[in-house]
Chains A and B, each alone.
Chain A
């Protein structure tokens, strides 16, 4: 078995082409990959508990105690404990008041005090019945901000306390809470996309400087794209939304998978021993060892993070796992065939 490629490499090329079709379907159509709240804005409360948490119970507590416009609850059970993931949007009052206060601030900035007072008074009306009047715009704004802050304070404290109390979680609650404004979400998405574009550009430059031939460089780039699509398919299957950490994990997929491609390309182009087929075959042995260690490490991370509900690490490990599986196909069926064709063609 010192040359498995010479006779078959053209046939090998078909496999990645067939495999990519259902994978692309997963990513683009069903179930598809969505944006996480980090990038769209929204509020999430994650609670962990030793007693069982049930979705309908939590939903009912929230509905009875709070005036939330949208709530979605999902619960996770793992052998070491239970978790609840609660996504909610704040009620309309807060949203209205925030926008009035913002308008009042802008009015003060453009020195339109009368308008600022008007907006502030309207904002105060949302929370309290009492009629207010002001002659100083700044005082009015502060009063409106006070009302909103008071309302938020009560809300924040209650949400957690009521849940902790009704679910019997005790005082030392394991919770994680995230509130992201829509504008920050949008800005983060922009920076994420920008950074991905720059990273891809830098990467192509480094690879091009190293190998200086168009076809092999394209082979590596295609393989990386292939891996990223696999990572995305993993996200679609496991219902992991695109977040900043997912974006950086996809970059990590690239970093990992490019190792095998660089090793393969270097041996195919720079080595002189044996036939191209033999060189490719010996690369497979090295490459599979590289992939095997990474895959095994990822499996360990997936198992532990699932057991202990470390969401972030679970997502990282799962995306990497899928990316690395994609790399097996991309490198040892696709890129190897491209390189065989390139080297044989040059003879």
Chain B
């Protein structure tokens, strides 16, 4: 039988090598990167947000949710937000532009500006909502095969009165049921959060595209089907000017807009020459990027929801506005096929009505930014560093043992430890990104790995011991030493892993500690048994030869 298959130790290493290489290659094919790199290598920003006071686990999860909706609605940029204990939050984003970062920061810190509009008029704003009732009537209930969610909230007096006036008779009877009751079709109100105070310049092509997209609807960003672009623009009360390459800039419309605000946001297909023309007119121009398959204008306006009124509140039963009943308590509801989705809808909307204000204010925000250019150079250099360190270690081993039969297995073991360690880190379900701290963890794991291999060789080849102890006893002694040393690594690094999700600051070290522990485990459980077997086979042979002589 092939000696490589005869021993389980080799089979084990081979299995893990195959898994690791497969996982790394799959990653390269999918993302162009062997591992999920952290901001140290890809560039990006890490925020550490400190809250005014300690809150419950449930509450901090809600705060994380609110922040996520405010800085990255729909999760488009892929920001990750995670609570650390009950007082801190960690936010990772790929953004590095200082202006954008400052925007994110003020979104985290500040309350948002919410407004609900109908026919180009404000129904109510965030300040006018007295309270979103998270106790009475709030929640998801199963009705038949559907799940209905309900979100009750209370308006202040002024807003309630305005609401009654503006929504009066906003439903039309379109047919009658068999019982003779009218069936209504009602107008829709648009919700905005942090609507920009700026004019919007949109190219004709973009306008046409957005018009189609809004008609089609998009459930990911809460656009219902049949949404009309003109209605949304009317509701936003933003000056929207279209631009055509044929007729050029509409100077009249623009000068009217300029008197309201100097800020102008342009669609990405507007030429630089047009932008400078706008600047000479006195505008401050910024370009908002296009997100794939989404109506550009919807995102630029920060429109968030479209909600249909119900005939229950539009006072269809009275003829005159003066008779309209004023409702200060309103309710938004919807149905979903699945409880989890219904709950998500409800939570998202509740956050919106609360203007994304945090139940506990933010005390301080710390941040660290690494530019993509610097990250790239870090990555190149540590790869170089790793290779040089490997060559040097191999050199020391060869010089020390002056025997390739012993040095070769050491080097092969180091290499397989690196491949398996990186391979396991590249598995899709491992969320830990590879950063400089994780690289330090790899170095720690390899260092102790080499140490362990040297101990095994010296234990097994020690002359004094070979006279009094059998090969098996010598292996046992060697394994005791390396297991103890692996356990010490786990003991030292364990507390970092244990507390990094609950204590501030330690999350920076999580990668380091978890990689060092993983490396120690790979060594003891996977690669070192094979290494010991190899040295054992080499020793058996040489002992036989010695006896012959």
Contacts and interface: CB of A to CB of B under 8 A. Distances in A.
A286 interface: yes
A120 B366 CA distance: 23
B454 A273 contact: no
B105 to A, nearest CB: 7
Interface stretch (B303-311, B505-513, B527-535): B505-513
A224 B200 CA distance: 65
Dominant SS at the A interface?
Answer: helix
B458 A175 contact: no
Contacts of A190: 503
A173 B382 CA distance: 20
Contacts of A139: 127
B465 interface: yes
Interface string B416-447: 00000000000000000000110110011011
Interface stretch (B9-17, B256-264, B357-365): B357-365
A249 B367 contact: no
Given A206-B491, A252-B516, A195 B503 contact: yes
A286 to B, nearest CB: 4
A142 B113 contact: yes
A121 to B, nearest CB: 17
A296 B393 CA distance: 7
Given A145-B106, A173-B371, A203-B488, A184 B468 contact: no
Given A142-B113, A187-B88, A263-B481, 9 more contacts: A105-B361, A157-B102, A184-B505, A248-B496, A273-B465, A293-B450, A297-B447, A308-B377, A313-B385
Contacts of B98: 153, 156-157, 159-161
Nearest to B437: A245
Interface in A252-266: 252, 254-256, 258-260, 262-263, 266
Given A172-B373, A191-B499, A145 B440 contact: no
A102 interface: yes
A35 to B, nearest CB: 13
B111 A138 contact: yes
B349 interface: no
Interface of A: 38, 41, 48, 102, 105-106, 109, 136, 138-139, 141-142, 145-146, 148-149, 152-153, 156-157, 159-161, 172-184, 187-192, 194-195, 198-199, 202-203, 205-207, 210, 244-245, 247-249, 251-252, 254-256, 258-260, 262-263, 266, 270-274, 278, 282, 285-286, 289-290, 292-294, 296-297, 299-301, 303-305, 308, 310, 312-313, 316
Residue from A205, A251, A272 with most neighbouring chain B CB atoms (10 Å): A251
Nearest to A315: B440
A247 B111 CA distance: 38
Contact of A251 (B109, B369, B396, B493): B493
A251 B504 CA distance: 18
B467 A273 contact: yes
Contacts of B109: 145, 149
